[in-house]
Amino acid sequence: MASEAITSADYIKHHLTNWTYGQFPEGHEQAGQWGFAHTAAEAKSMGFMAIHVDTMIWSLITGLVFLFFFSKAAKKATADTPSGFQNFVEMLVEFVQTSVRGSFTAKNDIVAPLALTVFVWIFLMNLMDLVPVDWIPHLSGWIGATFFGMDPHYVYMKIVPSTDPNATIGMAFSVFFLVLFYSFKMKGVGGFMGELTLMPFQSNNKVVQALFIPVNFLLEFVSLIAKPISLALRLFGNMYAGEMIFILIAIMFNAGLVMATLGGFLQLGWAIFHILIITLQAFIFMTLTIVYLDMAHSEH
């Protein structure tokens, strides 16, 4: 999409805008109706209830890729002479099991499969960041212009779901709901509320302890809410920044031969370094998921 027809600012805005489906606001000629946004301004005006279609599509695609290949490896697993892919899957499963054993002290059969799903799915979503930033937008623009008569500048397609806070917050709150569920299940309502109100400040004097309750609750509640927020924003912030750098480097390819050559080296270098970020962010999300669930199972 980087061309002389649009400015660098338009190029950046285009690549950072999601393909959005939502309700048009008041003042729009289609006010009250649902449809796809044709501009970034329309997408923004649709508000909280709008759906980022590209995030949904690529999240499902990467999830299905994970299910397909891992189920295929499980069906063809053999104890005789395992294939290279089976060895890879077994190595990955063993890596996740080691992480769970090291961070999870209780017994829960759902934690290891959850950790494996979280790690691989987030890794695959992050891996989409290594696809050159213009390939899919160009293809989407060509399809929109050829088959639907749309202006390719207003055809949006972000292919990295983890650069969308809606996706990262959704995953983080899914983990948070599991934390709340097991906190109530393992400790009971009284035990969990006791953790929120009777720590960290304690006293043998009941009057003083009663005075500590609102302070303890405020501190513990902030700590509890910080868990999903930290999960979501850490992943989103790192991946969004990485995508932005790729976009800025791509602009250099329209600034002459020298800048294009420099941009090529920068893009290669950043892509190699970004592999570490992609893997690290998936690992951190998985590890914190395990740790938070361990805390939910622990009684203080």
How far apart, in whole angstroms, are the C-alpha atoms of residue 205 and residue 67? 56
200 prior amide bond cis, ω within 30: yes
In a domain, 69, yes or no: yes
Q: Is residue 282 part of a domain?
A: yes
Show the domain range for 196. Answer: 8-297
Tens digit of each residue's pLDDT (9 = 90 or more) over 235-265: 999 999 999 999 999 999 888 889 989 999 9
pLDDT above 50 for 213: yes
pLDDT tens digits along 23-47: 988 888 888 889 998 888 888 889 8
Known catalytic residue at 87: no
* 1 falls within a domain: no
Of 18, 103, 216, 238, the catalytic one is 238
3-state secondary structure of 10: helix
In this structure, which amino acid lies at residue 125? M
Pick from 10-14, 116-120, 200-204 the range whose average pLDDT is largest.
116-120
Residue 105 lies in a domain: yes
> 157 near 140, Cβ under 8 Å?
yes
**Rounded-to-integer distance, Cα 224 and Cα 232, Å:** 14
Task: Please confirm, yes or no, whether 234 is among the known catalytic residues.
Answer: yes
**Cβ atoms within 10 Å, residue 248:** 16
Specify the pTM: 0.90
Q: Is 1 helix (H, G, I), strand (E, B) or coil?
A: coil
Residue 178 lies in a domain: yes
Q: Which member of 126, 230, 254, 298 is catalytic?
A: 230
- Per-residue confidence (pLDDT) for residue 158, from 0 to 100: 93
Strands of 20-23's sheet, edge to edge?
A: 34-36, 20-23, 51-52
User: Out of 108, 174, 234, 254, which one is annotated catalytic?
Assistant: 234
Containing H/E element for 116? helix 111-127
| Residue 64, domain member (yes or no) | yes
pLDDT greater than 60 at residue 1: no
230 part of the active site: yes
Q: Which residues pair with 52 in a beta bridge?
A: 20
Distance in angstroms (rounded) separating the CA atoms of residues 217 and 224: 10
Residue 3 lies in a domain: no
From residue 177, alpha-carbon distances to 167, 192, 289 in Å are 15, 14, 11
The pair of three-digit structure tokens given for residue 257, joined into one six-digit string: 């031969």
User: Does residue 2 sit within a domain?
Assistant: no
140-194 pLDDT, tens per residue?
989 988 888 888 878 899 999 999 999 999 999 999 999 999 999 998 888 888 8
How many structural domains is the chain composed of? 1
> What would the two tokens of residue 11 be?
């190029």
